[in-house]
Amino acid sequence: MTMIAAALALSGSLAAGAAAAQAPPPEDPGLIAYLRQRAHGALDTTRYAAALTPDGRTMLVYLTGPNWCGSGGCRLLVLDRAGRTYRSVGEIGVARAPIRLLERQSHGRRDLGVQVAGGGITEAYEAAVPFDGRRYARNPTVDPAVRIDDAPGETLIRADEPGRPLVPSPDKP
């Protein structure tokens, strides 16, 4: 194989790997059941974008729709796998995408980066939402969350991601 062919092959495999890293996780029946339970009567208006952290430990779920969003943003669930279901380790009530996993850590978990805007905030900014040893902070606009600029990290949920509809279970009307 020539050096050019090898470089092209490597470039193609890196691009495929990057595309795979950006793809949303496949639908998980345990996650869908958890979200349906949380959504109650709002199933027909709920959309969600989900991303698994690179360590496979935590699922981030960004809920949108009239029951989940207000002038300050939408709801971000931070869930850990617990057998076939999930348990909450955080719920951020006013977050805007993009949602990032930052390199900085608090109590052994990486901080989350969320956009903050609206709800009286006139100039948008990114906030680092820390973990306190049990849960992630609920509100990115107040302490212990802090405003950050250009913090290293990776985007897990993009701002332009349309999300998937959360539909009722096939056995429910």
Would you state the pLDDT for residue 130?
A: 98
Q: Does residue 11 fall inside a structural domain?
A: no
Q: 43 CB contacts (<8 Å, ≥6 apart)?
A: 36, 166, 167, 168
Q: Does residue 36 fall inside a structural domain?
A: yes
CA distances from 154 to 18, 71, 129 (A): 12, 26, 14
Work out the angle at residue 38's Cα, subtended by the Cα atoms of residues 75 and 41, and round it to the nearest 5 degrees: 105
Q: Does residue 107 fall inside a structural domain?
A: yes
Q: Does residue 20 fall inside a structural domain?
A: no
Q: Does residue 94 fall inside a structural domain?
A: yes
Would you state the pLDDT for residue 9?
A: 37
Would you state the pLDDT for residue 13?
A: 34
b/e string for 73-85 if b means 16 or more Cβ within 10 A?
bbbbbbbebeeee
Would you state the pLDDT for residue 76?
A: 98
Mean predicted confidence (pLDDT) in 137-147 = 96
pTM score:
0.82
Q: State the first-to-last Cα distance of the chain, in angstroms, to the nearest integer.
A: 59
User: Does residue 96 sit in helix, strand or coil?
Assistant: strand
Q: What is the pLDDT confidence band of residue 121, given thresholds at 50, 70 and 90?
A: confident
Q: Does residue 122 fall inside a structural domain?
A: yes
Mean predicted confidence (pLDDT) in 43-60 = 93
Q: Does residue 137 fall inside a structural domain?
A: yes
Per the DSSP assignment, residues forming a β-bridge with 76 are 62, 92
Q: Which two tokens stand for residue 22?
A: 């950006």
Residue 53 above 70 pLDDT? Answer: yes
Q: Does residue 153 fall inside a structural domain?
A: yes
- Domain total in the chain: 1
pLDDT tens-digit profile of 56-111?
A: 889 999 999 999 999 999 999 999 988 888 999 999 999 999 999 999 999 999 99
Per the DSSP assignment, residues forming a β-bridge with 43 are none
Would you state the pLDDT for residue 14?
A: 34
Q: Looking at this protein, which amino acid is placed at residue 99? A: I
Print the domain residue range for 77.
26-165
